[in-house]
Amino acid sequence: MTSARNSLLVIVGLLLLWQLAYWAIGDLALRPPLETVVKAGALIASEGFLSHLAETLRAFALALAIAVVVGVALGFSLGMNRLAGEVGEPLLVSFYSLPKITLYPIVLLIFGIGMPSKVAFGAIHGIMPIAIFTLGALRNLPPVLGRTSRALRLTRWQSAWALLFPAARPEIFTGLRLGFSLTLIGTLLGEMFASQRGIGFLLMQAIGLHDTDLIMVLTLLIVSFAITASMALLAIDKQLRHGSS
Amino acid sequence: MNAMTIAAPVHVGLRGVTRVFETNARTKVEALGPVDLDLRKGEFFAVVGPSGCGKSTLFDIVAGLSPATKGQAIFEGSRLDGRAVPEGVGVVFQEDASFAWLNVADNVAFGIRRAGLGEAEIKRRVDDTLTLMGLRDFAAAYPAQLSGGMRQRVCIARTLVQRPRLILLDEPFGALDQQTRLIMGEELLKLWRETGATVLLITHALDEAAMLADRVGVMSARPGRIIDVVETPWGRDRDSRVVSDPRFGEITARLWMRLRGESMAALSHKAG
């Protein structure tokens, strides 16, 4: 109950700040909250918007699926082999801290303009944190688990799937949470710079036309989506950790 | 010592077993042995020794978790090569190895489920083992809801359910308080009697060894060798009340007199 009240307080506070910022800055760059919400309703109802939304969601879902599968697999293969882990981790970390936008021209040349490019760009944002967290999660497991797996005569595969993965799951999930937000950023960036469709494309177009109404509405929609999703993931995260601590 | 175990055949045999760790090309650490030791089928054998003497190394070799550098370790006629824990050997570690994401019943069933037993057989075995270990009422509980002693019981149950003929325990009660240790010791005796398995217990507690074992092996400072084997006069039906027997004091005293010099040697080893 208190957590619901706290969330409500945060939302009310943010809306208030937004309104204050509008009064301070004015119509040139901002629109007030109420007007934005009304315009958002109109935009969602407008013709063609839903197909842009669907395009973005499809690209994001694909990118996220790739990031999760590749990230967890990469983290696992490095985590189960000590030498590979020691060689691979610094590579992962340096790639993680690299601003991915610098790779954008190459991604574009490889995949062209459109869906494959945004998916690839979303995925490369998400893979690294997921792989790094998976690797760290496996490394932090108590050694007695490995000995127990041998004592129970598990095969390597059984040990990975039935023992190491569930034991590391709470920490891996934290990586997934981070990967989720970064993949979303990556997908939208991809749409902004190399696409004719999707929310990112609409946003870029609105920026070009200095359409403040549309910029505000799209930003509101993206922020709402990101906050809702990450709150849901955080709730699952807490539940996973609750059982194991 | 009763006549039955003396006549019993050898279950585990160690001949000149040593273990050398190479930390790098130049430094070699002799961790163990040579050790010669026979565990008789169905006996309860305890090993005590100063810290760092190689007790756990010995344990790993008998468990099949790591290889002997020299010598032979034989379990039921086949060689323990350190590559795999043989069928028929059950292992319990000192650390809490319960699986946090599974309830007690699923923890216990874990090993036999992967081994491909039928669901009905799994259920029957798990029920029997939970009853034997006094865990029946906690079948649906998760490890986080249990005390340290209960979690160690879960780990012992997970081993027992595989019906091992040789049970190896490496300081299984090391993290528990004294009263819990005594009670867990009694339970260990009870399940030893009921399963008829051979038990090898590694411990640093002399009173625990004197109370539980048929025979207690005393190890020297590193590289650990068995320097004495002390037999206890308790019958199979013993329990923690043997601590009030005057011979209990004599046995722990004898163990300590054998160990005293070794423990001092081990301590000066560490200082130097």
Radius of gyration of chain B from Cα atoms? Answer: 19
Q: CA of A245 to nearest chain B CA: how many angstroms apart?
A: 6
pLDDT of residue A70: 96
Q: How far apart are CA A208 and CA A162, in angstroms?
A: 52
Q: What is the mean pLDDT of residues A75-93?
A: 85
Mean pLDDT to the nearest integer, B77-90: 89
More confident residue, A156 or B166: B166
- Distance, in Å, from the CA atom of A11 to the CA atom of A228, rounded to the nearest integer, reads 12
Within an 8 Å CB–CB cutoff, is residue A15 touching chain B?
no
Q: Which of B209, B203, B226 shows the shortest CA–CA distance to B51?
A: B203
| Half-sphere exposure (Cβ direction) of A203: Cα atoms closer than 13 Å | 20
The mean of the pLDDT values for chain A is 89
Angle at B181 between CA B178 and CA B187, to 5 degrees: 150
For residue B46, give the 3-state DSSP assignment.
strand
- ipTM of the shown complex: 0.85
- Report the distance separating Cα B139 and Cα B116, nearest Å: 21
Tens of pLDDT, residues B25-50 = 778 888 897 989 999 999 999 999 88
Give the number of other CB atoms < 10 A from CB of residue A50.
11
Q: Which pLDDT tens digit goes with each residue over A111-120?
A: 888 889 899 9
Task: Look up tokens 């002390």; give the residue.
Answer: B230
Domain assignment of residue A9, yes or no: no
Q: Which residue has the tokens 């539940």?
A: A239
Say which residue, B137 or B270, is predicted with more confidence.
Answer: B137
Return the residue of B nearest to A141 by Cα: B97
Q: Which of B90, B114, B162 sits opposite A162 (nearest CB)?
A: B114
- Asked if the structure places residue A14 within a domain, the reply is no
Domain around A140 = 49-244
Joined together, the tokens standing for residue A84 give 């590979």
pLDDT band at B255 (very low <50, low <70, confident <90, very high): very high
The answer to whether residue B272 scores a pLDDT higher than 50 is: no
B144: nearest CB among A163, A166, A243: A243
Which of A153, A156, A241 has the most B C-beta neighbours within 10 Å, making it the best mutation to test the interface with B? A153
Instruction: Using alpha carbons, select from A123, A63, A128 the residue that is nearest to residue A89.
Output: A128
**Under 8 Å between Cβ of B22 and B160:** no
Task: For residue A54, give Cα distances in angstroms to A44, A197, A199.
Answer: 12, 10, 9
DSSP 8-state symbol, B101? T
CATH code for position A166: 1.10.3720.10
In which band, very low, low, confident or very high, does the pLDDT at A245 lie, cut at 50, 70 and 90? very low
Q: Look up residue B206 and give its two tokens.
A: 């002399």
Q: What's the rounded Cα separation, in Å, for the pair B255 and A114?
A: 79
Of B161, B62, B53, give the one whose Cα is nearest residue B107: B161
Average pLDDT of span B256-266: 84
Q: Average pLDDT of B3-12? A: 67
For residue A242, the model assigns a pLDDT of: 60
pLDDT bucket at B267, cuts 50 / 70 / 90:
confident
Q: Report which residue type is found at B239.
A: D
- Checking if the pLDDT of A244 tops 70, the result is no
DSSP letter, residue A15 = H
When pLDDT is averaged across residues A114-131 and rounded to a whole number, the result is 91
Reported confidence tier of residue A125, pLDDT bands at 50, 70, 90: very high
Give domain status of residue A91, yes or no: yes
Q: What is the mean pLDDT of chain B?
A: 88
Which residue does chain A place closest to B96, by CA atoms? A144
Which residue type is seen at A6? N
Residue A188 pLDDT > 60: yes
CB < 8 Å from A in window 22-81 of B: 63, 65
Strands B70-75 vs B78-79: parallel, antiparallel or unpaired: antiparallel
Q: How far is CA A232 from the centre of its chain?
A: 13
> Are the Cβ atoms of A142 and B95 closer than 8 angstroms?
yes
Residue A59 belongs to some domain of the structure = yes
What is the Cα–Cα distance from A70 to A154, expressed in whole angstroms? 25
Cα separation, B217 vs B45, in Å, equals 7
Length of chain A measured in residues: 245
Report pLDDT digits (tens) over A3-17. 788 888 988 999 999
Nearest to B232 by CA among B203, B263, B206, B261: B206
Task: Decide if B156 contacts B128 (C-beta within 8 A).
Answer: no
Q: Which residues of A are less than 8 Å from B93 in CB distance?
A: 144, 147-148, 151
Indicate the number of domains in chain A: 1
Q: What is the CATH number of domain B3-88+165-271?
A: 3.40.50.300
Are the Cβ atoms of B95 and A144 closer than 8 angstroms?
A: yes
Q: Which residue type occupies A11?
A: I
Answer whether B114 touches A (CB < 8 Å): yes
Yes or no, beta carbons of A150 and B144 under 8 Å apart: no
Whether the predicted pLDDT of B74 surpasses 50 = yes
Domain ranges of chain B: 3-88+165-271, 96-163
**pLDDT score, position B1:** 46
